[in-house]
Structure 1
Amino acid sequence: MDTTNFFLSCDWGTSAFRLRLVERESLKILAEESSKEGNAATAELWKQAGQPPEQRVAFYLAIVQAYLKKLEEAVKTALDDVPVVISGMASSTIGMLEVPYKPLPFATDGSDLAIKILPAATDFRHAVLLISGVKSDDDVMRGEEVQLVGCCFENTAEAQLFLHPGTHAKHVLVQNGQATSLKTYMTGEFFSLLSTKSILASSVEEGAKLQEGKNRQWFEKGVHESQETNLLHNAFLVRTNDLFRNASKPENYFYLSGLLIGSECRDLLAHPPARITLAGEPVLVALYGAALHTLGIDKQSPVQTKTAEEITLTGQAAVLQHHLADLEESQR
């Protein structure tokens, strides 16, 4: 195998780790390893190790190296000198090396994101391109900026929206080839807290699918009611729905989801963008797509959907392309 046309894609979040061997032009994945060894768990291991601060980067890269060896075993080829592109929380205070945020705006082609290059060394024979996050005056994101680059937005004066659902959903406006504003919604975290830690936990049940039974009907009911009355009142209806046997626990799960996602999407009714790119994990993309349709937002703002894997690889490859010369220079 000629390894000069490949890169190692590392998506290292707070709670998960994923390493892929990727062909640069086609973005075909040749091998992949993943785990729950995210930056939060790694930071705790680093703290317990009690090593001097100057060893922190090496400590984190040793974890990458362990997964890299598994990739080499899978493809039966040494991957020495293949560059590693790392995005996510690895550039944060709990990561291997804190890299300052890039202030908004930033170019949607990935050419001016904040990065740090770590040259290859004896104990880690790969140049590392560590990508940092982005900040506005009052908001931040790490990882989603690379995924936004991977959406390949048109360079137009029309306001386009990047909508990335998740624990902390991101809404980023794009105009004239620049990401210009950022809003974070704690939708996923609120849903997790309410559905597992609050009095509502015993009234919902996870595991069913949106299209099963009356689940979509209850989801749409939640979306509609999120526009009409207060969320703090509506949330308690999840409990009374269960007490009065108005809804099953799986139906209640989707009702609560509809309430929260509908509340998040309310701003889009007041200020609809020209187009929306909805990108993320398939289950969440399906729920948000259903909410946008229920509210009629998709009629005002056409929606295209993309997967998290697709936009992560495309974005990392774009940033890598902009810094190939810098990587080569770091090895001289």
Structure 2
Amino acid sequence: MDPKTTFLSCDWGTSSFRLRLVERETLKILAEESSKEGNAATAELWKQAGQPAEQRVAFYLAIVQRHLKKLEEAVKTPLDDVPVIISGMASSTVGMKEVPYKPLPFATDGSDLATETIAATADFRHEVLLISGVKSADDVMRGEEVQLVGCRFENTAEKQLFLHPGTHAKHVLVQHGQAVSLKTYMTGELFSLLSTKSILAASVAESGKLEEGKNRVWFEQGVRTSQEANLLHNAFLVRTNDLFKKASKPENYFYLSGLLIGNECNELRANIPAGITLAGEPVLVQLYGAALQALGIAGRCPVRTKTAEEVTLNGHFAVLQHHLSTPSH
């Protein structure tokens, strides 16, 4: 496999690992491997191994190597010298090597993100480009900065919003080709806690899709209700919806989702950006798109959607190109 026409894209989060062999010209995925070997679990294994600190990078790269071998089997050719680009929690305190956060602002073309190069060795025959996260005065993100780069924002004076839904949703304002501000919302984590650990757990059930039955009606009602009263009171209505048989448990599931996503997006109504780019997993992107419509935001500014896979590959390739264009390369 020609290392000049391909690269290895590694998205290594807290709880998951994904490695893709990608063609540079088309960004076509040639082979892919994934697992639950996230950085949190790997850090625990590293702690149990009791090895010296200088072996930490090699310990983590051994996991990458195992997946690399599977990719080689899939494409039936060696992948020696193909560069590996890694983003996510691999550059954090639970990752292979901590790389300091890049302070805001950062260029949306990926040219000035904080990176660290790990040279190829006899045991791991690939140069590794480790991408760090970004911080503001009071907030942080790791992994989403690469996806923002992959959105290919226009360089304009108008303020645009990058919205990445997830466990910890990210809202990043972009202006003049720079990401200038960052806010994190614990929407996904709070939804998980309320729907599985709280008194509301018995009143909801994950079942069906947004467009099935009355799920969208209840989701939109949750979004609208989020604008009318306090979230802590609204959340209890999930229980009474069930007690009084107003909604089925699956419908209540979407109602609770609408309450939380609507609450997260509430501030946008007073500060409509020139455009919004929703980038993430398709199911969440669909929910957020529906919420922006229900709030009247989508009618006041264009909303474009992109998949997490698309923007991650675009972002990795952009950072790789800037890396290869530096004088040392």
Q: Give the TM-score of the pair, scaled to structure 2.
A: 0.99
Alignment of 1:1-332 (within 5 A): 1-325=1-325, 329=329
For residues 264-289 of structure 1, the C-alpha deviation after alignment (integer angstroms, 9 at most, x for no partner) is 00010011100000000000000000
- Where do 5+ consecutive residues of structure 2 fail to align? none
For residues 26-57 of structure 1, the C-alpha deviation after alignment (integer angstroms, 9 at most, x for no partner) is 00000000011100010010011010111000
Local SS of the residue matching 2:182: strand
Whole-Å separation in 2 of the counterparts to 1:101 and 1:270 = 30
Q: Which amino acid aligns with 2:4?
A: T
Q: Which amino acid aligns with 1:224?
A: R
Whole-Å separation in 2 of the counterparts to 1:3 and 1:136 = 36
For residues 2-44 of structure 1, the C-alpha deviation after alignment (integer angstroms, 9 at most, x for no partner) is 3420000000000000000000120000000001110001001
- Where do 5+ consecutive residues of structure 1 fail to align? none
Q: Which amino acid aligns with 2:256?
A: L
Whether the 8 Å CA contact 1:225–1:234 is kept in 2: the answer is: yes
Q: Which amino acid aligns with 1:5?
A: T
Q: Which amino acid aligns with 2:103?
A: P
Whole-Å separation in 1 of the counterparts to 2:123 and 2:326 = 21
Whether the 8 Å CA contact 2:222–2:262 is kept in 1: the answer is: yes
Whole-Å separation in 1 of the counterparts to 2:142 and 2:66 = 24
Whole-Å separation in 2 of the counterparts to 1:147 and 1:191 = 23
Local SS of the residue matching 2:226: helix
Whether the 8 Å CA contact 2:2–2:82 is kept in 1: the answer is: no
CA shift for structure 1 position 182? 0.2
Whole-Å separation in 2 of the counterparts to 1:122 and 1:186 = 43
Whether the 8 Å CA contact 1:8–1:82 is kept in 2: the answer is: yes
CA shift for structure 1 position 125? 0.3
CA shift for structure 1 position 327? 9.6
For residues 109-141 of structure 1, the C-alpha deviation after alignment (integer angstroms, 9 at most, x for no partner) is 000000000010011000000000000000000
Q: 1:327 to 1:166 in 2, by over 3 A?
A: farther
Whether the 8 Å CA contact 1:108–1:177 is kept in 2: the answer is: yes
Whether the 8 Å CA contact 2:102–2:133 is kept in 1: the answer is: yes
Whether the 8 Å CA contact 2:8–2:19 is kept in 1: the answer is: yes
Local SS of the residue matching 2:123: coil
Local SS of the residue matching 1:155: coil
Whole-Å separation in 2 of the counterparts to 1:2 and 1:137 = 43
| Aligned length, in residue pairs | 329
Whole-Å separation in 1 of the counterparts to 2:37 and 2:74 = 20
Q: Which amino acid aligns with 1:71?
A: L
| Higher-helix-fraction structure | 1
Whole-Å separation in 1 of the counterparts to 2:279 and 2:236 = 30
CA shift for structure 1 position 326? 5.1
Q: Which amino acid aligns with 2:145?
A: E
Whole-Å separation in 2 of the counterparts to 1:69 and 1:256 = 43
Q: Give the TM-score of the pair, scaled to structure 1.
A: 0.98
For residues 59-92 of structure 1, the C-alpha deviation after alignment (integer angstroms, 9 at most, x for no partner) is 0000000000000000000000000000000000
Q: Which amino acid aligns with 2:183?
A: K
Whether the 8 Å CA contact 1:117–1:327 is kept in 2: the answer is: no
CA shift for structure 1 position 301? 1.5
Whole-Å separation in 2 of the counterparts to 1:31 and 1:285 = 25
Runs of 4+ residues deviating >6 angstroms: none
Local SS of the residue matching 1:323: helix
Q: Which amino acid aligns with 2:259?
A: L
Q: 1:222 to 1:52 in 2, by over 3 A?
A: same
Whether the 8 Å CA contact 1:127–1:327 is kept in 2: the answer is: no
